[in-house]
């Protein structure tokens, strides 16, 4: 693997992927920090892993089922207490689809 | 009455049952201690009124039920703020969750409450458990009870400092890469990361789901065993919790009372330790080894050729899982929402920019990058392949050479506040070199305080065993406890500075 280093634009792209707003002033420091971390983790490329199965999880568990019985959910009053903007049983967000009028 | 803050929970229980003390006195003594040592900044939220009310009820229960009452009835506990607590603000050390009052309890917390424990408060931590010094908290750093100018370790630094300073006899923390063992080591108490799946993760706000595990802090091995026993077990709310019957840790520990370490093989991973230890840690480690030999243990050199690559694999795996887990903080259903936005996208981006601290943002960004199109195989998949190699290293060691792997918990004693945050983020990451491989392999690990450095700072040793070998680790730790007699209550009374 050839050594990779993030550019200013890469940093902005990664911030976008992360849904985190960053300012122009933050870019140089972030670039330096992220690159130092990437430099370090790229040392792994020197370790041969051809044919090694990846382990995503320690225990081989899959499809853990429970009985299909209904359970009480939270009351909407409780959810309303922790939501930033909640009205008539809905979370309120800015308009997503523009109207034609 | 200040000695009440030095007792173990078993000693507290005996005094409560005999009527020598009331839960009210016990809980009040702990709040007095918390006030007296508030400079440590170990709590984000305290719930004194509620705790005193619960103490009043506990005293009635003890009178009525006596020894049939729950094991922790009337006994104070501290809970890391990463664990959700019904009706008690839970912030994860982040501005993102300031004011968040969960509608449910974390399973481990609920189990402690069902056993009668009284929550005194929520402990400070690195934001979303990302850090090794507790300096990445939105609520200010925690100070080490042995030296106020130093860090307690992290990320569960508040829990460790609370137990070490007598603010609480036990505490819960979470450990993703060392976040229980490292602060336990730096604060001179016992801490355990159980086998992955031993304790339900339900209600532990997810950081890196394949690595996270809840575990206990205590000032005695028996208390560690009692707490672990109480919080362990299958939970239908966590599909990764394991079905195996929970052993009787406390009972099994009793069988060690008359034992030494005869026949136990301690593996020393020379390749992992070549990176350099601080002198005091290295001296202490060598001293421990010679004491172990006197106690009948066998010391064998082992090879874990991939363990030193764990750190790099960890700093791909953990951020990748974090980027995914922390996507839930979108400013819509709970948590911080920015006050100025024009679109949904902007709402997300601004809320997250304002709510998350610097280290959390860095890790999310690294995670988003390594999972992004074109880089997945080179980073994330590669790291999971390394994980397989690390697991195989430990398997081979346990199968062929040793029963327990022994290293120091950390390469250094507690470092100075600000010492590592001013440097590159990587400097902090290197503090986790001995603890991280265990999370990748899912193994249990215990942190045992063994000695004080020349500057009177705690040094701890880590014992790691095969999957589900907590009983063995607790037993070994109890022998260490008896032999090394670390002054675990030294900071639980008196002035702290």
Distance, CA of B72 to CA of A91 (rounded, Å): 40
Distance, CA of B460 to CA of B412 (rounded, Å): 10
Token output for A37: 């971390």
Contact partners, residue B258, CB within 8 Å, separation at least 6: none
The three-class DSSP label of residue B399 is helix
> Does residue B328 form part of some domain?
no
pLDDT tens column, B56-103? 999 999 999 999 999 999 999 999 999 999 999 999 999 999 999 999
- Subunit contact A33:B362, Cβ cutoff 8 A: yes
Strand-pair category, B118-123 with B76-80: parallel
pLDDT tens column, B385-398? 999 999 999 999 99
Contact partners, residue B240, CB within 8 Å, separation at least 6: A57, A59, A61, B196, B197, B201, B209
Strand-pair category, B43-46 with B118-123: antiparallel
The three-class DSSP label of residue B437 is helix
Report the run of H or E that residue B446 belongs to, with start and end. strand B445-452
Mean pLDDT of chain B: 96
| pLDDT at residue number A64 | 84
The three-class DSSP label of residue B48 is helix
- Subunit contact B369:A34, Cβ cutoff 8 A: yes
Distance, CA of B458 to CA of A26 (rounded, Å): 38
Query: Which residue range is the domain that position B246 belongs to?
Result: 2-261+469-484
| pLDDT at residue number B428 | 84
Distance, CA of B17 to CA of B14 (rounded, Å): 5
Put simply, whether A72 touches B (Cβ < 8 Å) is no
Using a CB-CB cut-off of 8 Å, the residues of chain B touching A87 are none
What CATH number has the domain bearing residue B47? Answer: 3.90.1300.10
B155-162 mean pLDDT: 98
Distance, CA of B263 to CA of B223 (rounded, Å): 26
Decide if pLDDT at B275 tops 80: no
CA distance A101 to chain B (A): 19
Put simply, whether A97 touches B (Cβ < 8 Å) is no
Report the run of H or E that residue B345 belongs to, with start and end. helix B344-355
**Percent residues over pLDDT 90 in chain B:** 95
> Does residue B288 form part of some domain?
no
The three-class DSSP label of residue A86 is strand
CA distance B313 to chain A (A): 7
| Mutate: best of A17, A20, A32, partner B, most B CBs <10 A | A20
Q: Which of B201, B82, B126, B196 is nearest to B440 (CA)?
A: B196
| pLDDT at residue number A96 | 85
CA distance A48 to chain B (A): 9
Using a CB-CB cut-off of 8 Å, the residues of chain A touching B391 are 55, 58
Say if CB B431 and CB B409 are below 8 A apart: no
> Does residue B236 form part of some domain?
yes
Nearest C-alpha in B relative to A49: B385
CB atoms within 10 A of CB B289: 15
| pLDDT at residue number A101 | 61
Q: Bridge-partner residues for B150, per DSSP? A: B416
Residue A52 vs residue A2, higher pLDDT: A52
Distance, CA of B231 to CA of B122 (rounded, Å): 17
Q: Which of B160, B301, B218 is nearest to B474 (CA)?
A: B218
Report the run of H or E that residue B354 belongs to, with start and end. helix B344-355
C-alpha distances in Å from residue B383, one per residue of A61, A85, B317:
20, 40, 7
B270-275 mean pLDDT: 82
DSSP B381: I
Say if CB B199 and CB B108 are below 8 A apart: yes
- Ranges assigned E (strand) in chain A: 86-87, 90-91
Contact partners, residue B397, CB within 8 Å, separation at least 6: B267, B269, B302, B303, B304, B405
Per-residue burial over B226-238, b = 16 or more CB atoms within 10 Å of its CB, e = otherwise? bbbbbbbbebeeb
Domain count, chain B: 1
Put simply, whether A69 touches B (Cβ < 8 Å) is no
Catalytic option among B22, B132, B179, B310: B179
Nearest to A84 among B323, B337, B383 (CB): B337
Active site residue B179: yes
- Ranges assigned E (strand) in B285-430: 298-302, 404-408
Put simply, whether A8 touches B (Cβ < 8 Å) is no
Active site residue B80: yes
Decide if pLDDT at B222 tops 60: yes
Nearest C-alpha in B relative to A35: B366
Decide if pLDDT at B348 tops 90: yes
- Confidence category of residue B425, pLDDT binned at 50, 70, 90: confident
B259-288 mean pLDDT: 92
Decide if pLDDT at A87 tops 90: yes
Token output for B253: 């520990």
Say if CB B153 and CB B185 are below 8 A apart: yes
| Angle (CA) B61 B66 B71, round 5° | 80
- Subunit contact B426:A55, Cβ cutoff 8 A: no
Nearest to B316 among A21, A41, A83 (CB): A41
Catalytic option among B22, B80, B241, B420: B80
CB atoms within 10 A of CB B473: 28
| Count helices and strands in chain B by DSSP H and E runs | 16, 11
Active site residue B67: no
Put simply, whether A27 touches B (Cβ < 8 Å) is no
Catalytic option among B137, B155, B351, B478: B155
Nearest to A82 among B334, B369, B467 (CB): B334
- Ranges assigned E (strand) in B241-314: 265-269, 298-302
Q: Domain limits of chain A?
A: 8-46
- Subunit contact B197:A59, Cβ cutoff 8 A: yes
What is the Rg, in whole angstroms, of the alpha carbon atoms belonging to chain A? 23
- Subunit contact B103:A66, Cβ cutoff 8 A: no
- Subunit contact A6:B369, Cβ cutoff 8 A: yes
Distance, CA of B462 to CA of B404 (rounded, Å): 10
CA distance A59 to chain B (A): 8
How many residues belong to chain A?
101
Using a CB-CB cut-off of 8 Å, the residues of chain B touching A49 are 382, 385-386, 389
B172-182 mean pLDDT: 98
- Confidence category of residue A27, pLDDT binned at 50, 70, 90: very high
Decide if pLDDT at B150 tops 70: yes
Distance, CA of B229 to CA of B56 (rounded, Å): 26
CATH fold of A8-46 reads Histone, subunit A (1.10.20)
B362-386 mean pLDDT: 95
| pLDDT at residue number B335 | 96
The burial of A10, by beta-carbon neighbours within 10 Å (0-12 exposed, 13-18 middle, 19 or more buried), is given as: middle
- Confidence category of residue A2, pLDDT binned at 50, 70, 90: low
DSSP labels, B146-186 = TBTTB---SSSHHHHHHHHTTS-SEEEEEESSSTTHHHHHH
The count of CB pairs under 8 A between chains A and B is 159
Using a CB-CB cut-off of 8 Å, the residues of chain B touching A83 are 332-334
- Subunit contact A55:B388, Cβ cutoff 8 A: yes
pLDDT tens column, B433-469? 999 999 999 999 999 999 999 999 999 999 999 999 9
- Tell me the torsion sign for CA atoms B5, B27, B159, B134: negative
CB atoms within 10 A of CB B32: 15
pLDDT tens column, B183-194? 999 999 999 999
- Confidence category of residue B1, pLDDT binned at 50, 70, 90: very low
Decide if pLDDT at A1 tops 60: no
> Does residue B424 form part of some domain?
no
Token output for B316: 């791909």
DSSP A54: P
pLDDT tens column, A32-84? 999 999 999 999 999 999 999 999 989 887 788 888 999 888 999 999 999 99
């Amino acid at each position: 693997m050839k050594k990779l280093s993030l550019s200013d634009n890469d940093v902005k792209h990664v911030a976008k992927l992360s849904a985190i707003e960053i300012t122009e002033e933050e870019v140089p420091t972030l670039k330096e920090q992220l690159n130092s971390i990437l430099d370090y983790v790229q040392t792994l490329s020197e370790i041969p892993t051809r044919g090694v199965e990846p382990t995503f999880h320690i225990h081989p568990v899959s499809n853990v089922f429970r009985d299909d019985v209904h359970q009480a959910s939270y009351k909407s009053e409780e959810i309303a207490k922790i939501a930033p903007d909640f009205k008539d049983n809905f979370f309120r967000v800015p308009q997503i689809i523009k109207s034609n009028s | 009455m200040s000695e009440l803050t030095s007792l173990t929970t078993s000693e507290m229980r005996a005094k409560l049952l005999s009527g020598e003390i009331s839960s009210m006195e016990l809980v009040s003594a702990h709040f007095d201690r918390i006030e007296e040592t508030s400079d440590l900044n170990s709590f984000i939220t305290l719930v004194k009124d509620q705790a005193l009310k619960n103490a009043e009820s506990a005293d009635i229960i003890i009178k009525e039920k006596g020894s049939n009452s729950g094991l922790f009835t009337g006994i104070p506990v501290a809970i890391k703020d990463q664990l959700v607590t019904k009706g008690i603000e839970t912030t994860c050390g982040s501005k993102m969750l300031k004011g968040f009052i969960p509608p449910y309890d974390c399973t481990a917390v609920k189990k402690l409450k069902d056993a009668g424990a009284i929550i005194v408060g929520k402990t400070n931590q690195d934001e979303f458990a990302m850090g090794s010094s507790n300096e990445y908290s939105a609520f200010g750093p925690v100070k080490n009870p042995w030296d106020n100018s130093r860090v307690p370790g992290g990320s569960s630094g508040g829990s460790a400092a609370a137990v070490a300073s007598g603010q609480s006899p036990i505490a819960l923390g979470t450990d993703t890469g060392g976040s229980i063992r490292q602060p336990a080591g730096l604060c001179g108490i016992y801490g355990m990361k159980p086998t992955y799946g031993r304790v339900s993760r339900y209600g532990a706000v997810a950081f890196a789901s394949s690595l996270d595990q809840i575990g206990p802090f205590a000032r005695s091995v028996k208390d560690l065993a009692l707490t672990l026993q109480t919080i362990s077990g299958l939970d239908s709310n966590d599909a990764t919790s394991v079905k195996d019957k929970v052993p009787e840790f406390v009972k099994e520990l009793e069988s060690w009372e008359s034992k030494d370490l005869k026949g136990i093989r301690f593996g020393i991973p020379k390749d992992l330790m070549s990176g350099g230890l601080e002198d005091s840690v290295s001296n202490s480690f060598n001293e421990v080894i010679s004491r172990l030999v006197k106690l009948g243990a066998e010391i064998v050199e082992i090879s874990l050729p991939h363990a030193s690559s764990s750190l790099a694999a960890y700093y791909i795996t953990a951020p990748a899982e974090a980027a995914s887990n922390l996507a839930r903080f979108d400013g819509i259903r709970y948590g911080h929402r920015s006050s100025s936005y024009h679109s949904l996208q902007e709402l997300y981006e601004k809320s997250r920019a304002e709510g998350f601290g610097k280290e959390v943002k860095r890790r999310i960004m690294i995670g988003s990058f390594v999972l992004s199109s074109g880089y997945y195989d080179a980073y994330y998949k590669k790291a999971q392949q390394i994980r397989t190699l690390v697991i195989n290293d430990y398997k081979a060691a346990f199968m062929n050479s040793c029963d327990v792997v022994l290293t120091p918990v950390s390469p250094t004693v507690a470092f100075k506040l600000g010492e590592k945050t001013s440097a590159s983020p990587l400097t902090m990451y290197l503090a986790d070199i001995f603890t991280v491989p265990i999370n990748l392999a899912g193994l249990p690990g215990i942190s045992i305080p063994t000695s004080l450095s020349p500057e009177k700072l705690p040094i701890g040793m880590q014992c790691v065993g095969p999957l589900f070998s907590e009983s063995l680790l607790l037993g070994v730790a109890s022998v260490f406890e008896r032999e090394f007699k670390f002054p675990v209550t030294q900071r639980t009374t008196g002035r702290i500075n």
